[in-house]
Amino acid sequence: MFQRGQRAQPDAPAPTAGTVRLRIRRYDPDRDPEPHWETYQAPRQPGDRLLDALHHVKWYVDGSLSFRRSCAHGVCGSDAMRVNGVNRLACKVLLKDLGDEVRVEPIQGLPLAKDLIVDMEPFFASYRAVMPYLITAGHEPTRERLQPPEQRDRYDDTTKCILCAACTGSCPVYWVDGRYVGPATIVNAHRFIFDSRDTAAGVRLEILKGRDGVFRCRIRRWPASNSSSPKTRRAGAARTPCTGATSTCCARP
């Protein structure tokens, strides 16, 4: 029994069905002039996810390893990282699908804070700029705002974004110029631009038509940001209707 205030320790790891070799890109701003690679061994069970292996390293091998995670079920979007060169959620990708050696590093395009943690503020600043919330005009209704299913279907896919930044961190345009709004911002703008209950589509389109807006997207040349989203089926699909609406409603810069 634990006494009040006593910190519970993780149980010892279960017997393993094999091991996986993790090559993790480490960086401590207080000690390291540059990021470097370190190698760890972790046990592997058939149903283990990458997050389980990272937990093993942190809990039993090196407690200084830093990474974000919260719900561990692919909903919160906290643990996006670059896995074998592709942005994934550590809580969703299975070790059995990654091979015997796995390279893990932070997502690109955002300032590195420590180890696998990046500063998400530039990402969220771009997200907030397109006003990702319902804006309406007139008197408040006396009941919920109804919407036919066919109108809801128009933007259904883009409601599933969990703001993990996996798509934005896969975008080469965003890597070279952080002023570009990025795929996740376009996805979330799409969600409200095409919502029939919203009245601020024109304001969002003005933002997207700017120098660093939707016309900077090069999804056909670099499709990685289109396929890396763990929730939306095709993050880049939001770009085409936004571009068309922008061209129609606003003069292209």
Name the token pair of 220.
């056909």
pLDDT at 16: 62
List pLDDT tens digits, range 6-62: 444 566 555 567 899 999 999 999 999 999 999 999 999 989 999 999 999 999 999
Question: In this predicted structure, which of 28-37, 119-128, 163-172, 210-219 has the lowest mean pLDDT?
Answer: 210-219
19-118: CATH architecture: Roll (3.10)
List pLDDT tens digits, range 164-189: 999 999 988 888 887 889 999 999 99
CATH top-level class for 121-137+147-249? mainly alpha
Whole-number percent of the chain with pLDDT over 90: 64
Largest CA distance in the chain: 69
What residues does each domain of the chain span? 19-118, 121-137+147-249
Q: What is the pTM of this model?
A: 0.80
pLDDT at 14: 59
C-alpha pair distances (Å), 157 with each of 46, 162, 216, 230, 234: 31, 12, 22, 12, 8
Those residues whose C-beta lies under 8 Å from the C-beta of residue 183, and which sit 6 or more positions away, are 167, 168, 170, 171, 174, 217, 219, 225, 226, 229, 235, 236, 238, 239
pLDDT at 5: 44
pLDDT at 143: 86
Indicate the pairing of strand 86-89 with strand 80-83.
antiparallel
Question: In this predicted structure, which of 8-17, 76-85, 134-143 has the lowest mean pLDDT?
Answer: 8-17
Q: Is the pLDDT of residue 244 over 70?
A: no
19-118 matches 121-137+147-249 in fold: no
